[in-house]
Structure 1
Amino acid sequence: MDVHNLAPGKVPAEQFDLLLAGTDIRGLRVAEALRLHLVDGLTPKEACEQTRANRGQFSLRLKAIHEENQRVIQLIKFYSIP
């Protein structure tokens, strides 16, 4: 699996938690919906319905998680052992 790819249902829980910690996402419903989507593989609609999260906020916060992931990818070169 490509760890750089945030494919729904393919993100390890630990990676999700670390990415979430690097964002300003604090809403419990949206955070749980994101987890259900990225870690457990539910569709955005299913995740939002299950958690009663706002779909608009979900979309904005999903973008923030993807942006944090891209930031981490850019940082990797500074921490990789040659």
Structure 2
Amino acid sequence: MTSTKKKPALEQAGPGKALKPKPVNTSAQASSTAYSALEPGRVAPAHFDLLMSFTNIRPGKLVEALRGFFVDQIQQKDLVTTLEVNQSMLSRKTKEVLELDGRIRLHLSTRKISALEPGKVDATHFDFLVSCTNFRGEKLLEALREHFVDGAKQKNLVATLGVHQSLLSRKTAEIHEVNERLAQISKYCR
């Protein structure tokens, strides 16, 4: 005999009222990736917010639906109806978040995240950090790699590669921010 656990679904509370979870059958919920350890309803709000900071998903109904699914364990079909979001878009973005979580967990499984020091950043870690950004441009990426992995001074890179100092400084700061968010999210990935 198989037991069925109950998950909350979205209950219509009326105009202007908060949405409330109601129990539903869990057999309809399935993880879309083997890499992620995210379980709907077991994701801390802060963990969800950090995951969203690694995506290009804009705040709005779609993020609200993803939050309902991952944090509040509300079934997607109920979120689609109540929040009027596109089902296929919600499914794609759910898979994207699960895959992102899997990539982060896989990366974190082989290293401890610490402050970045020029010349002391592992090339694999650097590549992962860059993959979490939308940085483009060969010269910029080469300059960042030479700075973080090889230890080159920014001043020298500006002269040799022709990258603007202000751009290099901003992107260096962004890499530090991504690393800090990765350190924060690592607390949830153990």
| AA of the residue aligned to 2:176 | H
User: Which of the pair has the greater relative contact order for Cα pairs under 8 Å at 6+ separation?
Assistant: 1
Measured against aligned partners, the alpha-carbon deviations of 1:6-33 in whole angstroms (never above 9, x if no partner) come to 1010001000000011011112211111
| AA of the residue aligned to 1:48 | V
Instruction: Name the residue aligned to 2:82.
Output: none
Aligned residue-pair number: 79
Superposed, 1:2-81 pairs within 5 Å as: 3-80=113-190
Instruction: Name the residue aligned to 2:104.
Output: none
Gaps of 5+ in 2: 1-111
2:113 touches 2:179 (CA, 8 Å); kept in 1? no
CA distance in 2: counterparts of 1:41 and 1:3, whole angstroms: 18
In the superposition, the TM-score normalised over structure 2's length comes to: 0.40
Gaps of 5+ in 1: none
In the superposition, the TM-score normalised over structure 1's length comes to: 0.88
Measured against aligned partners, the alpha-carbon deviations of 1:11-70 in whole angstroms (never above 9, x if no partner) come to 010000000110111122111111111100110011222221111100010011001001
- Higher strand residue share: 2
Determine which structure has more spread, i.e. the larger CA radius of gyration: 2
- Higher helix residue share: 1
CA distance in 1: counterparts of 2:178 and 2:118, whole angstroms: 16
Taking only aligned residues, the RMSD between alpha carbons, in angstroms, comes to: 1.3
Identity score, percent: 37
